[in-house]
Homo-oligomer: A and B are copies of this chain.
Protein backbone atom coordinates (compact mmCIF):
# COMPACT_ATOMS: atom_id res chain seq x y z
CA UNK A 1 0.00 0.00 0.00
CA UNK A 2 1.12 3.51 -0.77
CA UNK A 3 1.12 6.26 1.80
CA UNK A 4 -0.75 9.15 0.19
CA UNK A 5 -1.06 12.81 1.02
CA UNK A 6 -4.09 12.34 3.23
CA UNK A 7 -2.62 9.48 5.20
CA UNK A 8 0.43 11.59 5.81
CA UNK A 9 -1.68 14.47 7.07
CA UNK A 10 -3.59 12.18 9.39
CA UNK A 11 -0.43 10.57 10.66
CA UNK A 12 1.09 13.94 11.34
CA UNK A 13 -2.00 14.97 13.28
CA UNK A 14 -1.88 11.80 15.34
CA UNK A 15 1.79 12.24 16.11
CA UNK A 16 1.53 15.85 17.07
CA UNK A 17 -1.51 15.16 19.23
CA UNK A 18 0.11 12.22 20.94
CA UNK A 19 3.33 14.10 21.53
CA UNK A 20 1.54 16.76 23.47
CA UNK A 21 -1.04 14.65 25.29
CA UNK A 22 0.58 11.24 25.73
CA UNK A 23 -2.90 9.74 25.29
CA UNK A 24 -3.91 7.40 22.47
CA UNK A 25 -5.74 9.50 19.91
CA UNK A 26 -9.06 8.51 18.40
CA UNK A 27 -10.74 9.33 15.12
CA UNK A 28 -13.28 11.71 16.56
CA UNK A 29 -10.68 13.76 18.41
CA UNK A 30 -8.83 14.12 15.15
CA UNK A 31 -11.81 15.21 13.08
CA UNK A 32 -12.81 17.69 15.78
CA UNK A 33 -9.44 19.28 16.51
CA UNK A 34 -7.66 19.12 13.20
CA UNK A 35 -8.88 20.56 9.98
CA UNK A 36 -8.65 17.41 7.91
CA UNK A 37 -11.75 17.97 5.77
CA UNK A 38 -13.03 14.44 6.15
CA UNK A 39 -15.27 12.71 8.63
CA UNK A 40 -14.28 10.56 11.55
CA UNK A 41 -15.32 7.45 9.66
CA UNK A 42 -12.94 8.17 6.84
CA UNK A 43 -10.20 8.85 9.32
CA UNK A 44 -10.98 5.51 10.90
CA UNK A 45 -10.50 3.74 7.60
CA UNK A 46 -7.24 5.52 6.99
CA UNK A 47 -6.08 4.76 10.50
CA UNK A 48 -6.78 1.07 9.95
CA UNK A 49 -4.62 1.26 6.83
CA UNK A 50 -1.86 3.08 8.68
CA UNK A 51 -1.94 0.39 11.32
CA UNK A 52 -1.62 -2.31 8.67
CA UNK A 53 1.37 -0.46 7.32
CA UNK A 54 3.02 -0.46 10.74
CA UNK A 55 2.78 3.21 11.55
CA UNK A 56 0.28 2.92 14.35
CA UNK A 57 -0.46 0.56 17.17
CA UNK A 58 -3.38 -0.16 19.36
CA UNK A 59 -3.05 -0.52 23.11
CA UNK A 60 -6.42 -2.33 23.11
CA UNK A 61 -9.49 -2.66 20.93
CA UNK A 62 -11.40 0.35 22.05
CA UNK A 63 -8.53 2.73 22.52
CA UNK A 64 -7.20 5.28 20.10
CA UNK A 65 -4.03 4.87 18.08
CA UNK A 66 -0.45 5.40 19.17
CA UNK A 67 2.39 6.16 16.74
CA UNK A 68 5.02 3.46 16.34
CA UNK A 69 8.76 3.98 16.07
CA UNK A 70 8.36 3.71 12.32
CA UNK A 71 5.90 6.59 12.43
CA UNK A 72 8.28 8.80 14.37
CA UNK A 73 11.03 7.93 11.90
CA UNK A 74 8.81 8.95 9.00
CA UNK A 75 7.85 12.08 10.88
CA UNK A 76 11.46 13.02 11.56
CA UNK A 77 12.58 12.30 8.01
CA UNK A 78 9.70 13.64 5.95
CA UNK A 79 7.10 15.58 7.82
CA UNK A 80 8.88 17.49 10.56
CA UNK A 81 9.82 20.98 9.54
CA UNK A 82 13.06 22.28 10.95
CA UNK A 83 11.67 24.44 13.66
CA UNK A 84 13.94 27.44 13.41
CA UNK A 85 14.28 29.09 16.81
CA UNK A 86 13.07 32.62 17.13
CA UNK A 87 15.67 35.31 17.55
CA UNK A 88 14.48 35.85 21.09
CA UNK A 89 14.97 32.21 21.98
CA UNK A 90 18.38 32.23 20.37
CA UNK A 91 19.41 35.28 22.30
CA UNK A 92 18.20 33.83 25.57
CA UNK A 93 20.18 30.66 25.03
CA UNK A 94 23.33 32.43 23.86
CA UNK A 95 23.19 34.77 26.78
CA UNK A 96 22.89 31.99 29.30
CA UNK A 97 25.62 29.98 27.70
CA UNK A 98 28.04 32.86 27.30
CA UNK A 99 27.63 33.81 30.92
CA UNK A 100 29.59 30.74 31.78
CA UNK A 101 32.21 30.14 29.15
CA UNK A 102 35.45 29.43 30.93
CA UNK A 103 36.65 25.90 30.86
CA UNK A 104 35.29 23.52 28.27
CA UNK A 105 34.04 21.04 30.85
CA UNK A 106 32.23 23.72 32.79
CA UNK A 107 30.73 25.06 29.60
CA UNK A 108 29.34 21.79 28.36
CA UNK A 109 28.05 20.97 31.83
CA UNK A 110 26.26 24.26 31.73
CA UNK A 111 24.97 23.55 28.22
CA UNK A 112 23.46 20.32 29.49
CA UNK A 113 21.72 22.25 32.22
CA UNK A 114 20.25 24.74 29.75
CA UNK A 115 19.16 21.90 27.50
CA UNK A 116 17.37 19.96 30.20
CA UNK A 117 15.62 23.08 31.40
CA UNK A 118 14.34 23.95 27.95
CA UNK A 119 13.29 20.45 26.98
CA UNK A 120 12.17 19.16 30.37
CA UNK A 121 14.04 15.98 29.59
CA UNK A 122 17.19 14.37 30.84
CA UNK A 123 20.17 15.81 29.04
CA UNK A 124 23.82 14.88 28.87
CA UNK A 125 27.06 16.34 27.65
CA UNK A 126 30.17 14.41 26.82
CA UNK A 127 33.60 15.96 26.69
CA UNK A 128 35.80 15.14 23.71
CA UNK A 129 37.74 11.91 23.72
CA UNK A 130 41.27 12.81 24.64
CA UNK A 131 42.99 9.98 22.71
CA UNK A 132 44.80 12.47 20.59
CA UNK A 133 45.94 14.68 23.42
CA UNK A 134 49.67 15.11 23.19
CA UNK A 135 51.69 14.76 26.36
CA UNK A 136 53.68 17.81 27.33
CA UNK A 137 55.42 16.85 30.51
CA UNK A 138 55.29 14.56 33.50
CA UNK A 139 56.18 15.63 36.96
CA UNK A 140 56.48 13.64 40.15
CA UNK A 141 55.99 16.01 43.05
CA UNK A 142 57.09 15.29 46.63
CA UNK A 143 54.40 15.49 49.30
CA UNK A 144 55.74 13.76 52.36
CA UNK A 145 58.26 11.02 53.10
CA UNK A 146 56.12 8.33 51.58
CA UNK A 147 53.79 10.26 49.34
CA UNK A 148 54.18 11.73 45.90
CA UNK A 149 51.88 13.20 43.28
CA UNK A 150 52.12 12.02 39.71
CA UNK A 151 51.08 14.81 37.43
CA UNK A 152 50.59 14.60 33.68
CA UNK A 153 50.05 17.68 31.56
CA UNK A 154 49.01 17.64 27.93
CA UNK A 155 49.70 20.20 25.21
CA UNK A 156 46.11 21.35 25.27
CA UNK A 157 46.31 22.09 28.98
CA UNK A 158 44.58 19.05 30.39
CA UNK A 159 46.01 18.09 33.75
CA UNK A 160 45.52 14.80 35.53
CA UNK A 161 47.10 13.76 38.77
CA UNK A 162 47.20 10.93 41.27
CA UNK A 163 48.44 10.90 44.81
CA UNK A 164 50.46 7.84 45.56
CA UNK A 165 51.91 6.30 48.71
CA UNK A 166 55.15 4.48 48.24
CA UNK A 167 56.36 1.44 50.11
CA UNK A 168 59.74 2.97 50.78
CA UNK A 169 60.83 6.54 51.34
CA UNK A 170 62.41 8.27 48.37
CA UNK A 171 65.04 10.86 47.73
CA UNK A 172 63.87 14.08 46.24
CA UNK A 173 66.63 14.01 43.68
CA UNK A 174 65.40 10.70 42.31
CA UNK A 175 62.02 12.23 41.68
CA UNK A 176 63.51 15.00 39.62
CA UNK A 177 65.49 12.55 37.56
CA UNK A 178 62.53 10.27 37.11
CA UNK A 179 60.30 13.18 36.11
CA UNK A 180 62.76 14.32 33.50
CA UNK A 181 63.38 10.86 32.23
CA UNK A 182 59.68 10.14 31.90
CA UNK A 183 59.00 13.44 30.22
CA UNK A 184 61.78 12.63 27.79
CA UNK A 185 60.21 9.26 27.01
CA UNK A 186 56.64 10.39 26.66
CA UNK A 187 56.72 13.96 25.47
CA UNK A 188 55.10 14.39 22.06
CA UNK A 189 53.28 11.08 22.22
CA UNK A 190 49.52 10.97 22.18
CA UNK A 191 47.72 9.42 25.10
CA UNK A 192 46.85 6.29 23.19
CA UNK A 193 50.41 5.94 21.97
CA UNK A 194 51.71 6.47 25.50
CA UNK A 195 49.63 3.59 26.75
CA UNK A 196 51.37 1.17 24.44
CA UNK A 197 54.93 2.13 25.39
CA UNK A 198 56.80 -0.75 26.96
CA UNK A 199 57.78 0.67 30.30
CA UNK A 200 60.23 -1.94 31.47
CA UNK A 201 62.05 -1.75 28.19
CA UNK A 202 62.38 1.99 28.18
CA UNK A 203 63.64 2.38 31.70
CA UNK A 204 65.54 -0.54 33.07
CA UNK A 205 68.54 0.39 31.01
CA UNK A 206 69.40 3.75 32.48
CA UNK A 207 67.83 4.05 35.87
CA UNK A 208 68.58 0.78 37.54
CA UNK A 209 69.64 2.51 40.72
CA UNK A 210 66.14 3.68 41.47
CA UNK A 211 64.26 0.76 40.06
CA UNK A 212 62.32 0.26 43.31
CA UNK A 213 60.95 3.73 43.09
CA UNK A 214 60.19 3.37 39.41
CA UNK A 215 58.44 0.08 39.98
CA UNK A 216 56.16 1.73 42.50
CA UNK A 217 55.49 4.66 40.32
CA UNK A 218 55.12 3.24 36.83
CA UNK A 219 51.96 1.17 37.30
CA UNK A 220 50.33 4.19 38.87
CA UNK A 221 51.55 6.37 36.11
CA UNK A 222 49.81 4.09 33.66
CA UNK A 223 46.66 4.26 35.74
CA UNK A 224 46.85 8.02 35.68
CA UNK A 225 47.20 7.92 31.92
CA UNK A 226 44.09 5.80 31.75
CA UNK A 227 42.34 8.24 34.04
CA UNK A 228 43.24 10.95 31.64
CA UNK A 229 41.65 8.95 28.84
CA UNK A 230 38.36 8.79 30.67
CA UNK A 231 35.70 10.79 29.00
CA UNK A 232 33.80 13.14 31.24
CA UNK A 233 30.07 12.70 31.03
CA UNK A 234 27.57 15.02 32.67
CA UNK A 235 23.87 14.58 33.17
CA UNK A 236 21.27 17.12 34.03
CA UNK A 237 17.55 17.07 34.62
CA UNK A 238 17.57 13.54 35.99
CA UNK A 239 14.48 14.15 38.05
CA UNK A 240 12.62 15.55 35.07
CA UNK A 241 11.57 12.06 34.14
CA UNK A 242 9.38 11.82 37.20
CA UNK A 243 7.06 14.35 35.62
CA UNK A 244 6.73 12.46 32.36
CA UNK A 245 3.62 10.23 32.15
CA UNK A 246 5.62 7.43 30.51
CA UNK A 247 7.64 7.04 33.69
CA UNK A 248 4.80 7.51 36.09
CA UNK A 249 5.39 3.96 37.09
CA UNK A 250 7.98 3.00 39.59
CA UNK A 251 9.42 0.16 37.53
CA UNK A 252 9.96 2.21 34.42
CA UNK A 253 11.44 5.06 36.44
CA UNK A 254 13.77 2.54 38.02
CA UNK A 255 14.84 1.12 34.67
CA UNK A 256 15.52 4.57 33.36
CA UNK A 257 17.61 5.50 36.38
CA UNK A 258 19.55 2.29 36.18
CA UNK A 259 20.31 2.83 32.54
CA UNK A 260 21.51 6.35 33.20
CA UNK A 261 23.56 5.30 36.20
CA UNK A 262 25.64 2.90 34.18
CA UNK A 263 27.88 5.69 33.04
CA UNK A 264 30.43 3.49 31.32
CA UNK A 265 27.82 1.79 29.17
CA UNK A 266 26.18 5.05 28.33
CA UNK A 267 29.51 6.60 27.42
CA UNK A 268 30.22 3.70 25.09
CA UNK A 269 26.84 4.10 23.48
CA UNK A 270 27.53 7.76 22.89
CA UNK A 271 31.03 7.25 21.57
CA UNK A 272 29.87 4.69 19.04
CA UNK A 273 27.29 7.06 17.58
CA UNK A 274 27.91 8.84 14.31
CA UNK A 275 28.92 12.47 14.35
CA UNK A 276 26.59 15.30 13.53
CA UNK A 277 22.94 15.44 14.42
CA UNK A 278 21.64 11.96 15.05
CA UNK A 279 18.21 10.83 16.16
CA UNK A 280 17.65 7.22 17.12
CA UNK A 281 14.14 6.18 17.92
CA UNK A 282 13.17 3.23 20.08
CA UNK A 283 14.17 -0.01 18.45
CA UNK A 284 16.60 1.78 16.20
CA UNK A 285 18.95 1.95 19.16
CA UNK A 286 21.56 -0.78 18.89
CA UNK A 287 21.34 -1.45 22.60
CA UNK A 288 18.19 -3.44 23.39
CA UNK A 289 17.97 -1.92 26.85
CA UNK A 290 17.24 1.36 25.11
CA UNK A 291 14.45 0.17 22.88
CA UNK A 292 11.86 2.23 24.73
CA UNK A 293 13.84 5.46 24.52
CA UNK A 294 14.78 7.97 21.93
CA UNK A 295 18.16 9.58 21.84
CA UNK A 296 19.05 12.82 20.11
CA UNK A 297 22.69 13.84 19.93
CA UNK A 298 24.69 16.46 18.14
CA UNK A 299 28.41 17.03 18.11
CA UNK A 300 30.48 20.08 18.80
CA UNK A 301 34.01 20.58 17.55
CA UNK A 302 37.09 22.06 19.03
CA UNK A 303 39.14 23.53 16.23
CA UNK A 304 37.34 21.30 13.78
CA UNK A 305 38.98 18.30 15.37
CA UNK A 306 38.16 17.04 18.80
CA UNK A 307 34.58 16.07 19.04
CA UNK A 308 32.22 16.03 21.99
CA UNK A 309 28.54 15.29 22.19
CA UNK A 310 25.46 16.87 23.64
CA UNK A 311 21.96 15.50 23.69
CA UNK A 312 18.83 14.32 25.41
CA UNK A 313 17.31 10.99 26.25
CA UNK A 314 13.64 10.34 26.91
CA UNK A 315 10.56 8.45 25.78
CA UNK A 316 10.04 7.98 22.04
CA UNK A 317 7.29 10.53 22.34
CA UNK A 318 9.24 13.76 22.30
CA UNK A 319 9.20 17.08 20.47
CA UNK A 320 11.78 16.11 17.92
CA UNK A 321 11.61 19.35 15.96
CA UNK A 322 11.97 21.72 18.85
CA UNK A 323 14.59 19.71 20.67
CA UNK A 324 16.69 19.20 17.59
CA UNK A 325 16.84 22.94 16.99
CA UNK A 326 17.89 23.67 20.54
CA UNK A 327 20.61 21.03 20.56
CA UNK A 328 22.00 22.19 17.25
CA UNK A 329 21.99 25.77 18.34
CA UNK A 330 23.82 24.87 21.52
CA UNK A 331 26.47 22.74 19.84
CA UNK A 332 27.05 25.44 17.22
CA UNK A 333 27.57 27.95 19.98
CA UNK A 334 30.01 25.73 21.81
CA UNK A 335 31.98 25.00 18.66
CA UNK A 336 32.20 28.68 17.92
CA UNK A 337 33.25 29.60 21.42
CA UNK A 338 36.06 27.08 21.40
CA UNK A 339 37.46 27.78 17.98
CA UNK A 340 41.20 27.96 18.43
CA UNK A 341 41.50 30.84 15.99
CA UNK A 342 40.80 32.86 19.08
CA UNK A 343 37.88 34.82 20.34
CA UNK A 344 36.52 38.06 19.11
CA UNK A 345 36.17 37.82 15.35
CA UNK A 346 32.44 37.94 14.78
CA UNK A 347 31.47 37.03 11.21
CA UNK A 348 34.54 36.54 9.11
Contacts and interface: CB of A to CB of B under 8 A. Distances in A.
A299 B138 CA distance: 35
A147 interface: yes
Contacts of A253: 242, 250, 253
- Count copies of this chain in the complex: 2
B242 A261 contact: no
Contact of A342 (B136, B145, B153, B157): B145
Interface in A131-147: 136, 141, 143-147
A19 interface: no
B146 A157 contact: no
Main secondary structure of the interface of A (DSSP, over half): mixed
Given A239-B254, A242-B254, A157 B167 contact: no
Interface in A164-221: 164-165, 167, 220
Contact of A153 (B141, B157, B164): B141
A78 interface: no
Contacts of A153: 141, 149
Nearest to A155: B143
Given A103-B162, A238-B261, A239-B261, A157 B143 contact: yes
A238 B145 CA distance: 39
Contacts of A243: 254
A163 interface: yes
A277 interface: no
A6 interface: no
Pick the 9 closest A-B CB pairs, nearest first. Answer: A143-B157, A242-B254, A157-B163, A149-B157, A159-B161, A239-B257, A146-B342, A239-B258, A103-B163
Given A165-B343, A238-B261, A242-B254, 18 more contacts: A103-B162, A103-B163, A103-B164, A141-B153, A141-B157, A144-B340, A146-B343, A147-B157, A149-B157, A165-B342, A167-B343, A239-B254, A239-B258, A239-B261, A242-B250, A249-B250, A250-B250, A250-B253
15 contacts: A102-B164, A102-B223, A103-B162, A103-B164, A143-B155, A143-B157, A145-B342, A146-B342, A149-B157, A165-B343, A239-B261, A242-B253, A242-B254, A248-B250, A250-B253
